[in-house]
Amino acid sequence: MTRTDITTGLQTVTAAGAVTGVLDTAALSGDYTIRIRVTSLEAGKTAIIAVQDTANASAFSDAITVAVFHVQGLVDPDSEIELPPLRKFAIPGTRFGAANTKLRLNVLSLTSSSNLRVQGWLEQ
């Protein structure tokens, strides 16, 4: 099984927006699993994390959200959670294997004054 990063390693996010890193999916075909790991979010804080894809030369100007996760703290650096894995059959709308296709994580909402540490990757 090959693991390919979506995010640029483990990222610290302090505001809503795209998480650093993008996976080019133009050459991907076959079965896959998308995995997301959260290693830090303070007690009482919440985050909404979306998995989005694009098929436009102007990346993500046509972003489609293919999955959404709601996470609530307390996740501390000594414990981590892996969100439910996303298999290809569960998110059939992804546009892989064509020109300009890419995948990213996007934090849609994050409680103010929060630090979210998140990492995403694709296994194939």
Q: Each residue of 70-93: pLDDT tens digit?
A: 999 887 767 788 999 999 999 988
Q: Which domain holds residue 11?
A: 3-123
Whole-number Å distance between alpha carbons of 28 and 110: 31
Q: What is the pLDDT of residue 32?
A: 95
pLDDT at 49: 98
CATH label of the domain that carries residue 56: 2.60.120
Give the pLDDT confidence score for residue 48 in this predicted structure: 97
pLDDT, residue 92, reads 86
**Predicted structure pTM score:** 0.93
According to the model, what pLDDT value does residue 3 have?
96
pLDDT of 13: 96
Residue 77 pLDDT? 67
Q: What does the pLDDT read at residue 43?
A: 87
CB-CB neighbours of 50 under 10 Å: 19
For the chain, the domain total comes to 1
Q: What one-letter code names the amino acid at 109?
A: S
Rounded Cα distance between 83 and 33, Å, is 12
Q: What is the pLDDT of residue 1?
A: 87
Give residue 70's Cα distance to chain centre. 12
pLDDT digit string, tens, across residues 14-59: 999 999 999 999 999 899 999 999 999 988 899 999 999 999 999 9
